[in-house]
Structure 1
Amino acid sequence: MNVWFVASEAAPLVKTGGLADVAGALPKALGSLGIDVTVVLPKYGAIPASYTVSSVPRGHFRVSLGWRSVYCGLEELTVDGVRFLLIDNETYFKRDQLYGYGDEAERFVFFSMAVLEAMARCDRLPDVLHCHDWQTGLVPFLLRTRYSYLPQFRSIRTVFTIHNLHYQGVFGRELLQDLLGAGDDMFGQDGLEFYGAGSCMKAGIRYADKLTTVSPSYAAEIQSPEYGERLDGLLRQRAGDLTGIVNGIDTSSYDPSGDPHLAAPYSRSSVGKRLNKRPLQQELGLLPDEEVPVIGIVSRLVAQKGLELIGEALPALMAEDVQLAVLGSGDARYERMLLDGAAAYPGRLAVRLRFDEGLARRIYAGADLFLMPSLFEPCGLSQLISLRYGTVPIVRETGGLRDTVQSYNEYTGEGNGFSFGPAAAHDLAYTVRRALSLYRDREAWERIVRNGELSDIGWETSAGLYEELYRELLKG
Structure 2
Amino acid sequence: MTFLQNSATSLGGSKRKGFHIIHICTEMEPLISVGPLAPYITGLSRALQKKGHLVEVILPKYASLDLDEVQGLREVVAESYSYFNGQLQGNKIWTGVVYGIGVTFIQPLYYSSFFNRDRIYDYSDDFERFSYFSRASLDYIAKSGKQPDVLHLHNWETAIVAPIFWDIFWDIFAKQRLGNTRILLTCQGFDSQCLVEPDKLALCGLDPGGLNHPDRLQDTAKTHLVNILKGGIVYSNKVIVMSSMHSKGGIIHNMSHELEPTLAFHQDKLLVAPYGFDNSAWDPATDILLPVKFSAENMRGKDACKVVLHQRAGISSLVSSVRVGCIISEVSDFDLEKLKEAVQNATSGGAQFVFLANASLPTINRALRYLQEALEGPNVKFFTHYGEPLLRLVFAGSDIILCHSLHDPLLQVPLKALRYGAAPVLEASGDNNFRYYADHDHEISRFLQFLRSTLGIMSLSQAIDEIRNNPSTWKTKISKAMKEDFSWDAECYETHVSAYSAIKSL
Q: Which residue of 2 aligns with 1:426?
A: none
- The answer on whether the counterparts of 1:393 and 1:418 sit within 8 Å (CA) in structure 2 is no
- The answer on whether the counterparts of 1:274 and 1:290 sit within 8 Å (CA) in structure 2 is no
Is 1:255 the counterpart of 2:275 in the alignment?
A: no
Which structure 2 residue ranges, 5 or more long, are not aligned?
Answer: 1-18, 439-443
Is 1:433 the counterpart of 2:465 in the alignment?
A: no
Is 1:56 the counterpart of 2:56 in the alignment?
A: no
1:377 offset after TM fit, Å? 6.6
Matches within 5 A, 1:304-323: 306-308=333-335, 311-321=337-347, 322-323=352-353
Which of 496, 500, 505 aligns to 1:466? It is: 496
Is 1:37 the counterpart of 2:29 in the alignment?
A: no
1:142 offset after TM fit, Å? 1.5
Is 1:127 the counterpart of 2:149 in the alignment?
A: yes
Query: Cα gap change, 1:262/1:191 in structure 2, threshold over 3 Å: closer, same or farther?
Result: farther
- Please give the per-residue CA displacement for 1:291-341, whole angstroms capped at 9, x wherever unaligned: 4434334465286xx524x64343133221231424358997566434311
Query: Cα gap change, 1:280/1:127 in structure 2, threshold over 3 Å: closer, same or farther?
Result: same
- The answer on whether the counterparts of 1:339 and 1:351 sit within 8 Å (CA) in structure 2 is no
- CA separation in 2, counterparts of 1:91 and 1:158? 29
Which of 384, 388, 397 aligns to 1:352? It is: 384
**Bigger relative CO (Cα 8 Å, ≥ 6 apart):** 2
Q: What SS does the corresponding residue of 2:299 show, helix, strand or coil? A: helix
Q: What SS does the corresponding residue of 1:54 show, helix, strand or coil? A: strand
Q: Which residue of 1 aligns with 2:416?
A: 385
1:433 offset after TM fit, Å? 0.0
- The answer on whether the counterparts of 2:159 and 2:228 sit within 8 Å (CA) in structure 1 is yes
Q: Which residue of 1 aligns with 2:14?
A: none
Q: Which residue of 2 aligns with 1:160?
A: 185
Query: Cα gap change, 1:2/1:91 in structure 2, threshold over 3 Å: closer, same or farther?
Result: same
1:387 offset after TM fit, Å? 1.2
- CA separation in 1, counterparts of 2:79 and 2:394? 44
- The answer on whether the counterparts of 2:406 and 2:424 sit within 8 Å (CA) in structure 1 is no
- Please give the per-residue CA displacement for 1:348-388, whole angstroms capped at 9, x wherever unaligned: 2526389x666544433333222334397789833222211
What one-letter code is carried by the residue in structure 2 that aligns with 1:312?
Answer: K
1:343 offset after TM fit, Å? 2.3
- Please give the per-residue CA displacement for 1:33-89, whole angstroms capped at 9, x wherever unaligned: 322111222333443332236213234423343257654322222233222222234
Range that drifts further, 321-330 or 193-202: 321-330
1:407 offset after TM fit, Å? 7.1
Query: Cα gap change, 1:454/1:175 in structure 2, threshold over 3 Å: closer, same or farther?
Result: farther
1:210 offset after TM fit, Å? 0.8
CA RMSD of aligned residues (A): 3.4
- CA separation in 1, counterparts of 2:415 and 2:407? 16
Identity %: 22
- Please give the per-residue CA displacement for 1:195-254, whole angstroms capped at 9, x wherever unaligned: 334433222211111111234834221111x22211122111111111223333222122
Query: Cα gap change, 1:295/1:472 in structure 2, threshold over 3 Å: closer, same or farther?
Result: same
Q: Which residue of 1 aligns with 2:211?
A: 186
Q: What SS does the corresponding residue of 1:394 show, helix, strand or coil? A: strand
- Please give the per-residue CA displacement for 1:106-163, whole angstroms capped at 9, x wherever unaligned: 3222221221111112222211111122222111122122334423454310111122
- CA separation in 1, counterparts of 2:236 and 2:144? 22
Range that drifts further, 113-122 or 266-275: 266-275
Query: Cα gap change, 1:258/1:454 in structure 2, threshold over 3 Å: closer, same or farther?
Result: closer
Which structure 1 residue ranges, 5 or more long, are not aligned?
Answer: 421-430
- The answer on whether the counterparts of 2:406 and 2:414 sit within 8 Å (CA) in structure 1 is no
Q: What SS does the corresponding residue of 1:190 show, helix, strand or coil? A: coil
The normalised TM-score by structure 1 is 0.83
Q: What SS does the corresponding residue of 1:259 show, helix, strand or coil? A: coil
Matches within 5 A, 1:194-273: 194=219, 195-196=221-222, 197-215=225-243, 217-224=246-253, 226-268=254-296, 270-273=299-302
The normalised TM-score by structure 2 is 0.78
Matches within 5 A, 1:342-421: 342-347=372-377, 348=380, 350=382, 352=384, 360-374=391-405, 381-395=412-426, 396=431, 398=434, 403-406=446-449, 415=454, 417-419=455-457
1:345 offset after TM fit, Å? 1.4
- Please give the per-residue CA displacement for 1:270-300, whole angstroms capped at 9, x wherever unaligned: 33434444555666x5635464434334465
Q: Which residue of 2 aligns with 1:446?
A: 475
Query: Cα gap change, 1:333/1:235 in structure 2, threshold over 3 Å: closer, same or farther?
Result: farther
Q: What SS does the corresponding residue of 1:467 show, helix, strand or coil? A: helix
1:96 offset after TM fit, Å? 4.3
Q: What SS does the corresponding residue of 1:91 show, helix, strand or coil? A: helix
- The answer on whether the counterparts of 2:240 and 2:272 sit within 8 Å (CA) in structure 1 is yes
Query: Cα gap change, 1:352/1:96 in structure 2, threshold over 3 Å: closer, same or farther?
Result: farther
- The answer on whether the counterparts of 1:394 and 1:418 sit within 8 Å (CA) in structure 2 is no
Is 1:327 the counterpart of 2:357 in the alignment?
A: yes
